[in-house]
Amino acid sequence: MNGANGAARSGDEPADDGGHHVLIVGGGFGGLAAAKALATAPVRVTLVDRRSHHLFQPLLYQVATAGLNPSDIAYPIRSILRDQDNVSVVGVDVDDVAEENEAGADAADGI
């Protein structure tokens, strides 16, 4: 459900107004940058990632040497994008991407 600030939450799909739908595969640096860049665009954005968190890997060695806690370098993707009304986050493992399925519907609509 939408929170008090109107942000899309887990399980919510932005309203389908018949416009374009952008599917972003992966919540790494590139996926998050793309989603943020589309914040004001008139599109629905679905970001899919097998993990529910973004891991800042450049600091992973500090976790291994007990310099940082794991929570200091891993952030929930939904929290990072919570202020964007046009974004939904889906936790799935993507095996294949097809432009259209047999029914002619967008492949992202079946997520």
Note whether 97 and 76 are within 8 A (CB).
no
Entry pTM: 0.68
- Measured CA angle at 32 (ends 70, 75), to 5 deg: 20
103 vs 109: CA distance, rounded Å: 11
100 vs 15: CA distance, rounded Å: 21
Q: Would you write out the chain's pLDDT as a tens digit for each of its 111 residues?
A: 333 333 344 445 555 566 899 999 999 999 999 999 999 999 999 999 998 888 888 899 999 999 999 888 888 999 999 999 999 999 888 888 777 655 555 555 555
Note whether 26 and 54 are within 8 A (CB).
no
Note whether 87 and 62 are within 8 A (CB).
no
Domains of the chain: 23-94 (3.50.50.60)
